[in-house]
């Protein structure tokens, strides 16, 4: 019979399926014949292993027993606990072992403490049989866990993994507090936190949902899935993505072995990681060989003083129209000419923050404007938008915003600028590069575009002043009819109403046909593109770089298994897609791929659909956090090898 008053919880032995309470299971695992018979072929070298009982301090009915290789780092145990019991990678955590705190700070932030207080230490020199220590996971509500090392053995591996789940409590069964009959699958987090009976079955939840008013919707928002974890009903925790609530024994796995994706061997992942250029070495080289842009000694095609003078004159004509008094940045002017791609103008200055004109040359460049407009919907950061922006720009800003080269040009032109937001300068935005001064061909093109804009404003400023009614999904088209030497103004739908979702390239389709026969593997990949927040000067390039890394995290282990840097002229979304294909080719089809970036999701949609891979859009990605953590770790072990 279902009940909310639980007896002392029991669990199952991984190897023989025997059902026992935690203390009885400890004794059983030391003697289990089926466990002893199972030997993993690791060239039969003897190793050291700890068997550890893990118990929730708030509710002892939640427990598990793990075997840990002595070569394992504390951080790997932390990752395991987060994945199976507590979740969020963004939160702080710490182990406390004999009054020493081993802390983890997310996102690769540096630990300003002695090195022996980070989690990047192997357990071999920290733990011993009989030792008890604590683990704290810090979010709005703390979760405190006790770990007891009940046995140390030297012997042969039973499993490939360095951390093996030997047993865990059977998921508790709750009765619905409404109907008092059905098994509950939901918990009211607010009532549960106050100590009330707060468990709901699906039928009672659905009945409330059908006739929900404001109060009922608030209640439904508080319902979280019941999960086999001490964080059940706390914050927004909804259970593990990787570990099922019901613990599967080896006997269970044998029954469904044919339909299960195969496990990926650790040495296979290590081989995959080796077959790539490690980002760390490129970054380390940049840091050790810092170059000033002035010292690059690259040949640049610079505009003449006369060409600069023409550009400044055309820009000053635009300023006199004060067009930002009538148009805002999303009220786009599109210049159409026969046989050529449109030129798109965005006018800045409506709110007085930044005066200027952005010019987008053709549809591909205009996509980056749309990416900026829809950054929230696409779930991408402003840093990401900035890294992939492509346009020419003129600005009226402050003296400190100008480069030394721009100041020298103004001085030679004998131009007089004073005060805030009056200094005229120009920038080139190009994907993969830091914004920089215009080169000669850009000066010539920008002069032509501003001259066209001057003609448009002279002809149509009256209509702009009368407040042309343009919706967010429309643009103002100005068409130049050359044979009639005539200009025509009209509205039309935005040609890129939304940032068009891209698909896998045709040349990759043959490869995908081959990959449909690769085996399914029990892997979940978290993938992302991360623009680095740094400007790099490299002798191979004529402009300062703002590089992007692209890579993937193995969700089960929390390890960064791929990290690469794109060159400025490469399509980084394509590169990431090819890296996913490399994983599938060398290892197998993962059961799930996650990303937080809708542009990446669209890039992989066709591929995942064809290869039967679940593709999920998540609120946030761990690739950037793991990359920062990895860089911190590499620096730390380069300084001092830990344990």
Write the pLDDT tens digit of every residue in 236-259.
788 887 788 888 888 776 665 555
Q: Could you give the domains of the chain?
A: 10-170 (3.10.290), 186-225 (no CATH), 267-290+501-639 (3.30.420), 297-493 (no CATH)
Give the Cα separation of 114 and 11 in Å (integer): 40
Q: What is the pLDDT of residue 23?
A: 92
Is the pLDDT at 16 greater than 60? The verdict is yes
How is residue 85 annotated by DSSP? I
Q: What is the pLDDT of residue 504?
A: 56
Q: What is the pLDDT of residue 216?
A: 64
Mean predicted confidence (pLDDT) in 561-573: 87
H/E segment holding residue 337: strand 333-337
Is the pLDDT at 522 greater than 70? The verdict is yes
Using CA atoms, how far residue 484 sits from 168, 449, 454, 487, in Å, is: 82, 21, 19, 9
Confidence band for 581, pLDDT divided at 50, 70 and 90 = very high
**At 533, phi and psi to the nearest 5?**
-90, 65
Give the Cα separation of 450 and 525 in Å (integer): 47
Give the Cα separation of 438 and 203 in Å (integer): 66
Is the pLDDT at 580 greater than 70? The verdict is yes
Q: What is the pLDDT of residue 43?
A: 61
Is the pLDDT at 121 greater than 90? The verdict is no
**In sequence order, which ranges of 143-277 are alpha helices (DSSP H)?**
189-193, 202-210, 214-221, 250-255, 266-274
Is the pLDDT at 79 greater than 50? The verdict is yes
Using CA atoms, how far residue 219 sits from 211, 215, 256, in Å, is: 13, 6, 39
SS3 state at 481: strand
Confidence band for 112, pLDDT divided at 50, 70 and 90 = very low
Span 457-470, pLDDT tens digits: 998 887 766 655 66
Q: What is the pLDDT of residue 2?
A: 40
Give the Cα separation of 567 and 550 in Å (integer): 11
Span 284-336, pLDDT tens digits: 777 666 655 455 555 678 899 999 999 999 999 999 998 888 888 888 999 99
Q: What is the pLDDT of residue 494?
A: 81
Mean predicted confidence (pLDDT) in 477-494: 87
Is the pLDDT at 172 greater than 90? The verdict is no
Is the pLDDT at 525 greater than 90? The verdict is yes
Report the percentage of the chain scoring pLDDT > 90: 38
H/E segment holding residue 325: none
Is the pLDDT at 450 greater than 90? The verdict is yes
Mean predicted confidence (pLDDT) in 395-414: 92
Q: What is the pLDDT of residue 115?
A: 43
Is the pLDDT at 633 greater than 70? The verdict is no
Residue of higher predicted confidence among 295 and 171: 171
Mean predicted confidence (pLDDT) in 207-229: 77
Average pLDDT, the chain: 84
Question: Which residues neighbour 614 within 8 Å (Cβ) at sequence distance 6 or greater?
Answer: 591, 592, 593, 608
Is the pLDDT at 499 greater than 70? The verdict is no
Q: What is the pLDDT of residue 15?
A: 92
Mean predicted confidence (pLDDT) in 99-126: 70
Inter-residue contact 69 to 77 (CB < 8 Å): no
């Amino acid at each position: 019979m279902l009940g909310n008053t639980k007896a002392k919880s029991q669990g199952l032995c991984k190897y023989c399926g025997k059902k026992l309470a935690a203390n009885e299971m400890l004794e059983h695992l030391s003697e289990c014949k089926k466990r002893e018979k199972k030997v993993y072929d690791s060239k039969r070298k003897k190793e050291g292993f700890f068997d550890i009982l893990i118990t929730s301090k708030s509710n002892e009915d939640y427990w598990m027993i793990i075997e840990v290789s002595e070569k394992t780092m504390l951080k790997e145990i932390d990752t395991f606990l987060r994945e199976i019991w507590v979740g969020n990678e963004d939160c702080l955590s710490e182990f406390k072992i004999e009054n020493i705190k081993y802390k983890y700070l997310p996102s690769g932030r540096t630990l300003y403490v002695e090195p022996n207080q980070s989690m990047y230490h192997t357990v071999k020199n920290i733990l011993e049989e009989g030792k008890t220590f604590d683990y704290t996971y810090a979010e709005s509500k703390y979760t405190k866990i006790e770990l007891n090392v009940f046995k140390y053995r030297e012997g042969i591996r039973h499993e490939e993994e360095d951390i093996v789940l030997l047993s865990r409590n059977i998921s508790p069964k709750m009765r619905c507090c409404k109907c008092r009959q059905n098994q509950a699958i939901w918990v009211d987090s607010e009532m549960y936190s106050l100590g009330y009976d707060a468990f709901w079955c699906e039928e009672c939840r659905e009945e409330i949902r059908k006739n929900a008013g404001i109060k009922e919707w608030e209640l439904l928002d508080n319902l979280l899935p019941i999960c086999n974890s001490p964080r059940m009903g706390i914050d927004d925790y909804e259970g593990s993505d990787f570990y099922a609530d019901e613990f599967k024994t080896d006997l269970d796995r044998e029954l469904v072995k044919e339909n299960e994706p195969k496990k990926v061997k650790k040495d296979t992942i290590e081989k995959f990681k080796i077959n790539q250029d490690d980002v760390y070495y490129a970054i380390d080289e940049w840091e050790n060989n810092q170059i000033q842009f002035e010292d690059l000694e690259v040949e640049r095609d610079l505009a003449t003083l006369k060409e600069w003078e023409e550009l400044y004159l055309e820009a000053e004509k635009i300023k006199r129209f004060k067009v930002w008094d009538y148009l805002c940045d999303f009220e786009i002017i599109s210049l159409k000419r026969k046989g050529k791609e449109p030129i798109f103008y965005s006018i800045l200055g409506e709110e007085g923050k930044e005066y200027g004109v952005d010019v987008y040359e053709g549809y591909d460049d205009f996509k980056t404007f749309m990416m900026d407009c829809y950054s929230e919907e696409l779930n991408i950061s402003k840093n990401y938008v900035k890294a992939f922006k492509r346009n020419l720009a003129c600005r009226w800003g402050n003296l400190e915003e100008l480069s030394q080269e721009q100041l020298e040009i103004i001085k030679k032109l004998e131009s007089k600028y004073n005060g805030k937001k009056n200094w005229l300068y120009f920038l080139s935005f190009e994907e993969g590069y830091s914004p920089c001064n215009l080169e000669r061909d850009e000066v010539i093109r920008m002069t032509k575009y501003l001259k066209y804009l001057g003609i448009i404003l002279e002809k149509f400023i009256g209509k702009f002043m009368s407040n042309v009614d343009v919706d967010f999904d429309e643009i103002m088209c100005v068409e130049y009819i050359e044979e009639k030497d005539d200009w025509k103004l009209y509205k039309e739908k935005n040609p890129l109403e939304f940032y068009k979702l891209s698909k896998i390239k045709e040349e990759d389709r043959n490869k995908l046909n081959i990959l449909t026969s690769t085996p399914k593997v029990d892997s979940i990949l978290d993938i992302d593109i991360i623009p680095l927040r740094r400007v790099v000067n490299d002798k191979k390039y004529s402009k300062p770089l703002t590089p992007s890394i692209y890579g993937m995290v193995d969700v089960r282990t929390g390890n960064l298994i791929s990290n690469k840097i794109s060159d400025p002229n490469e399509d980084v979304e394509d590169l990431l897609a090819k890296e996913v294909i490399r994983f599938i080719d060398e290892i197998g089809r993962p059961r799930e791929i996650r990303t937080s970036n809708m542009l990446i999701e669209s890039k992989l949609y066709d591929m995942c659909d064809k290869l039967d891979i679940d593709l999920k859009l998540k609120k946030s990605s761990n690739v950037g956090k793991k990359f920062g953590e990895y860089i911190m770790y590499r620096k730390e072990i380069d300084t001092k090898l830990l344990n």
